[in-house]
Copies of this chain bind each other. A is one copy, B any other.
Amino acid sequence: MGDQPIHPFDRALALRAVADGRYEVSSSAEYWNMNGPFGGLTCATALHAALQHAPASMEPVSLTVNFCAPQKPGLSSLQVREIRRGKWTSHLLVRMRAEDGTDVVTATVVCGVREPGFSHQVVTMPTVAPPHELPSMPADPRFAWLQQYDFRFVSGALRLNDPQAIGQRNAGSILWVRDRIPRPLDRLSLAALCDVFFLRVFHVRQKLALAGTVTLTAQFHASDEDLARQSDRHILGVADASTFTRQFFDQQARLWSDDGTLLATTTQLGWFQS
């Protein structure tokens, strides 16, 4: 279809194979956060590497990414091993190291054969205003990765330092989100979107402080047809937390197609400085 420029997400995800099961990836200035890459990009990168070694007959069904150490700009290396392949599932292990050899990420990926059969979606998408009726969040220029997404909050937007919002201690958000430069949804961008929700500790305290995701698990429910039908439009994210205690907190999110199909569920554990 002619010379389409490469989307920033695909540029950031580009792997160079350096040996069997070994890849290099360059850090992306476009997806940089304040003190490291956007965690969702790291999730997508780990998944991208794992999928090079998964059976073509299987889809990713689950991904756990452990953020072991801060990442600096530069090259990272990824090592992928398929630990076990069964009839219905494949289990893969990914280790990511910085240029100086520091282990920065471990990830486990499960792929599975998905066939039609019994189907039941227990939960239903909340009824909310459509994205075109909601303002696009202005992106804070200190965080490059924010420029890569279009955020339209239905509720639970950050209101930093607002005394009334601090008093509410609300950890929940509902928002429409998509790549700012439209790109059809696929499993890699869905994995990245699983970490697009701001740390709930920022919401509940309405202040930015030293904090980060320690481990994230994403579960993928979308079929190829669900992804194709959603294409590049906004998905709906519903995020919340259950507890903040002794420097750690959890958060969960559901990611919905705009026709109400549950695409993914995710949970993470974060650390915060008290």
Residues of A at under 8 Å CB distance from B?
61-62, 64, 66, 68-69, 83-84, 86, 88-89, 91, 93, 95, 102-104, 106, 108, 110, 112-123, 169, 171, 201, 204-205, 214-215, 217, 219, 221, 223, 240-248, 250, 252, 254, 262, 265, 267, 269, 271-274
Contact = CB atoms under 8 A, between A and B. Distances in A.
Given A103-B83, A106-B91, A246-B223, A112 B217 contact: no
A118 B244 contact: yes
Contacts of A217: 64, 215, 217, 267
Contacts of A88: 247, 271
Contact of A68 (B86, B265, B274): B86
Given A93-B106, A103-B83, A103-B84, A121 B214 contact: no
Q: 3 shortest A-B CB distances, which residue pairs?
A: A117-B274, A114-B246, A68-B84
A51 to B, nearest CB: 16
